[in-house]
Structure 1
Amino acid sequence: MYDTPNLPPLKRVPPGMWTALAWCVAMAYPSVVAGASRHTYGPHAGDALPTHRDWLLIGSASVLAFAACAVLRRLPLTSVVLLLVSTVVATGAWTQQVELSPASLLTVYVALCLVTATGSRRTSRTALAMVLLVLLGHLAMLPAQGSHLFLTGRSIGASDAGLLVAVIAWLAGRSIRQSRDYAEKLGDQAATQAVTAERLRIARELHDMVAHSIGIIALQSGAARRVIETQPARAREALGEIEAASRETLSGLRRMLGALRQSGSDAEPDGTPLHLMPGLADLDRLAATTTAAGVRVDVRWSGERRQLPPDIDLSAFRIVQEAVTNVVRHAGSDSCRVSVDCRETELSVEVLDEGRGHGTTTGTGYGLAGLRERVALLHGQFTAGPRPEGGFRVAASLPVPTGVR
């Protein structure tokens, strides 16, 4: 099972909670700021202390605002309308002496930003239009002096600034929405690429694992069919090789399927490793099996033999295995030579045969394409093609990380 990472603490807070917190801050702001002027809250904002009637209006507006916060996610437009009404009631903005300052509209701004960030484009634009219409209507109700200042642009009043902040809040929400959409697209692309890479990896492993064994089985079964009447002992030997190759292939398939089912786990409950993948140490066994099938494999080592990283060791073995399989199936040759050169910073492998080199194409088939992908993933170099003097050559150079001994 995959563990789902926990969300950051701030992202665990629902949108309605943010708007409720903004309402509390907006209601407490006039009491915190000393010398509240007529641009602050309350129908009698010029008074030093709110009256009993003011507290009643603020309490009623708060109940309405908290109800709007509760339905912000399900009914965003209704919530914005209720918050506008709550702000107008709490500030007494229906009169001609009180302006709606940016501080008094804090809850509306937060709601507008959240609706724009989480809702559809149509919903966000509708919410912005409602907020602007209410603020413009309120500006129209203000005394002529305030309207004149707004129109001439010589100075900006509190209500005028509220319009600008509303637009800024909408743009901020829009930016958040675009950033999230972009991040989701990147995540989808990364997931698709990961799935594709995993499919290719599994396809390469299945091909490399099965193709060689099937080639050996086909060669041995043909030999057994030809000599079963004249040389029963040789036929029994070929059948034994077929059985051994079949069992080895089935065992490899079981390990691979077990590894896929046990994703996130590296071992069975009893501690047996799942990824018992072959490496260059298995070249002798590969050569013996292929030689028994009728194609002699001469393995030559040069350089210092040492422990290699698992991915390089596996890839080098798969390159040799695929090349030898192609010799068995396509070259028409009775022998091939495998050369492995272990250098300090590079591992080179080469497979040469003297068969029908021009009859083996380099651009078709899944085997060589899979080898090219393997080498490319390891930032190595891969070549495969007919030899001028006859036969076919497969060669690869894989860089070995510094410090590996």
Structure 2
Amino acid sequence: MTRTKAAAWAGGALYLLMVGLLVGAATRASGTVHAVGSLLAVSLLAGVVRRKPQLALAMALFGSTAVVAGTADSLHDGLAPSYQGQFLSFLAADLVLGFVVATRTRRASIVAVAASTAVQLPVIGLFAHGDSMTVNAVIAPLAMAAACMAGLLSRERREHAVALRSQEVDKAVTAERLRIARELHDMVAHSIGIIAIQAGVGSRVIQTQPEQARETLRAIETTSRETLSGLRRTLVSLRQADRGATASEQSPLAPSPGLADVEQLAAATADAGVRVDVRRSGGERPLPADIDLSAYRIVQEALTNVVRHAGTGHCRVDIDYGDEELSVEVVDDGRGVTGNGSAHGFGIVGMRERAGLLHGRLSAGPRPEGGFRVAARLPLPGPVGVPVEAR
């Protein structure tokens, strides 16, 4: 940072030196040569422009005015052939003016435009002669207006880009909140539903079948511990994301569940009194992490609804690994939909959102032969590679 600052100020000093050389040397050259030299010299102010644009504008106006005045003195002394191009050096100040308008506040931009006008127009009126005064009096305001318009367009484009980025951030935050809400709902609702069923069974048999009651309590303990572990993973991930944790800090966390854990899910559901038959077909293979997790959550939510609402002791889970899509289906032979049609709450909404985010489809509804069916089809990218662990 110190070197950059020193380079900026060194460039400003060199600019002033170049202006002095243009004014004091090469007196036989035309005004156009001096003006072009002033335009080239303004590149030395690049560092000052980035740090202090107003100061750079003042230096550019001073340098351009010095070149115009020095050229005029040479012309009056008969040392230079013409006035043509005498005021081109002010284009250097106009370039800096455009940068000020593009990057500074509106108040600072108005002050910069007023200062440029207050310097350029009187200088043109003082040193221009004949037809050149009329021409330069027209060209100078047009050049300043063009620089200001370019600066305004650049400012609007930058503000628009900032607004778009802000909208993208808001959308990302909303999407992340929905994802977390789905994760917590799928995980907690399933586990609490299982615990509630098991607690009810335990309370009924605790006097007559103490051994079964102990098994039920052990199942409740296991399910509770798994739920707490899942909540811990979610909360720790959120805290680490807030403080910018490194991958090495996150490595102790257990991986997210996937279809490979469906059998374990079926065993937990069986403890709640619903036997689950898991059938797999197609070329079973590793899946992308987002598809694997979403498919698991869809199965989990569907089984939760079976335990809570179906009133049956059996259901089936079919998983088909197709070439182009993954098909997941959960079917039961229970009571289907209750009288008010709201037996499955927000679970189906969450399943539809998961499928939609992956450009998939989900259907859920009662079967003509009785019971309820949830079917999801999730497109697979090809070729399917090894999944990246979800954080």
TM over 0.5: yes
Q: Out of 246, 249, 261, which is 1:282 matched to?
A: 261
| 1:209 maps to 2:194 | no
Offset from partner CA, 1:346-385 (integer Å, 9 cap, x none): 1101111233322285798442222222212222111122
Q: Out of 182, 192, 198, which is 2:160 matched to?
A: 182
What is the aligned partner in structure 1 of residue 126 from structure 2?
141
Counting aligned pairs with the same residue, the percent is: 46
**Closer, same or farther in 2 for the Cα pair 1:75/1:320, shift >3 Å?**
closer
What is the aligned partner in structure 2 of residue 88 from structure 1?
65
- The offset of 1:255, in angstroms, is 2.3
Letter in 2 for 1:336: C
Distance 1:195 1:13 in 2: 42
- The offset of 1:194, in angstroms, is 1.8
Offset from partner CA, 1:33-54 (integer Å, 9 cap, x none): 8952256769xxxxxxxxxxxx
Letter in 1 for 2:89: S
* Secondary structure of residue in 2 paired with 1:244: helix
* Secondary structure of residue in 1 paired with 2:151: helix
Q: Out of 25, 33, 37, which is 2:30 matched to?
A: 37
**Closer, same or farther in 2 for the Cα pair 1:71/1:402, shift >3 Å?**
closer
What is the aligned partner in structure 2 of residue 367 from structure 1?
347
Offset from partner CA, 1:180-211 (integer Å, 9 cap, x none): 21221122122222222222222221111211
Contact 2:19 2:66 (8 Å CA) reproduced: no
Distance 1:127 1:197 in 2: 44
| 1:348 maps to 2:327 | yes
Give the alignment of 1:246-325 within 5 angstroms.
246-263=224-241, 265-268=246-249, 272=252, 274-325=253-304
- The offset of 1:246, in angstroms, is 0.4
Letter in 1 for 2:378: L
Give the alignment of 1:63-102 within 5 angstroms.
76=54, 80=57, 84-85=61-62, 87-89=64-66, 91-92=68-69, 101-102=86-87
Q: Out of 324, 330, 336, which is 1:357 matched to?
A: 336
**Closer, same or farther in 2 for the Cα pair 1:218/1:319, shift >3 Å?**
same
Flag structure 1 segments of 5+ consecutive residues without an equivalent: 1-5, 43-57, 151-155
**Closer, same or farther in 2 for the Cα pair 1:124/1:281, shift >3 Å?**
same
Contact 2:186 2:301 (8 Å CA) reproduced: yes
Offset from partner CA, 1:208-240 (integer Å, 9 cap, x none): 121111110011111112222222222211111
Give the alignment of 1:161-180 within 5 angstroms.
161-180=139-158
Distance 2:56 2:167 in 1: 35
Distance 1:220 1:32 in 2: 98
**Closer, same or farther in 2 for the Cα pair 1:364/1:133, shift >3 Å?**
farther
Distance 1:167 1:363 in 2: 68
What is the aligned partner in structure 2 of residue 132 from structure 1?
117
Range moving further from structure 2, 111-120 or 16-25: 16-25
Contact 2:53 2:99 (8 Å CA) reproduced: no
Flag structure 2 segments of 5+ consecutive residues without an equivalent: 77-82, 386-391
- The offset of 1:319, in angstroms, is 0.6
Letter in 1 for 2:95: V
What is the aligned partner in structure 2 of residue 192 from structure 1?
170
- The offset of 1:71, in angstroms, is 10
Contact 1:208 1:321 (8 Å CA) reproduced: yes
Letter in 1 for 2:196: A
Letter in 2 for 1:84: L
Give the alignment of 1:356-395 within 5 angstroms.
356-359=335-338, 361=341, 365-395=345-375
Distance 1:93 1:201 in 2: 70
Question: TM-score, with normalisation over the residues of structure 2?
Answer: 0.78
* Secondary structure of residue in 2 paired with 1:357: coil
Distance 1:363 1:22 in 2: 79
* Secondary structure of residue in 1 paired with 2:337: helix
Letter in 2 for 1:36: A
What is the aligned partner in structure 2 of residue 230 from structure 1?
208
Work out the number of aligned pairs and report it: 365
Contact 1:26 1:103 (8 Å CA) reproduced: no
What is the aligned partner in structure 1 of residue 221 from structure 2?
243
**Closer, same or farther in 2 for the Cα pair 1:83/1:310, shift >3 Å?**
closer
Contact 2:190 2:304 (8 Å CA) reproduced: yes
Offset from partner CA, 1:320-355 (integer Å, 9 cap, x none): 000000111122222222111111221101111233
* Secondary structure of residue in 1 paired with 2:374: strand
Offset from partner CA, 1:59-92 (integer Å, 9 cap, x none): xxx9xxx9xx97996793x875675355434532
**Closer, same or farther in 2 for the Cα pair 1:144/1:404, shift >3 Å?**
closer
Q: State the superposition RMSD in angstroms.
A: 4.0
Range moving further from structure 2, 86-95 or 284-293: 86-95
**Closer, same or farther in 2 for the Cα pair 1:109/1:254, shift >3 Å?**
same
Contact 1:30 1:36 (8 Å CA) reproduced: no
- The offset of 1:101, in angstroms, is 4.0
Distance 1:20 1:175 in 2: 31
Higher helix share: 2
- The offset of 1:285, in angstroms, is 1.2
Question: TM-score, with normalisation over the residues of structure 1?
Answer: 0.76
Offset from partner CA, 1:163-193 (integer Å, 9 cap, x none): 3322222222222212221221122122222
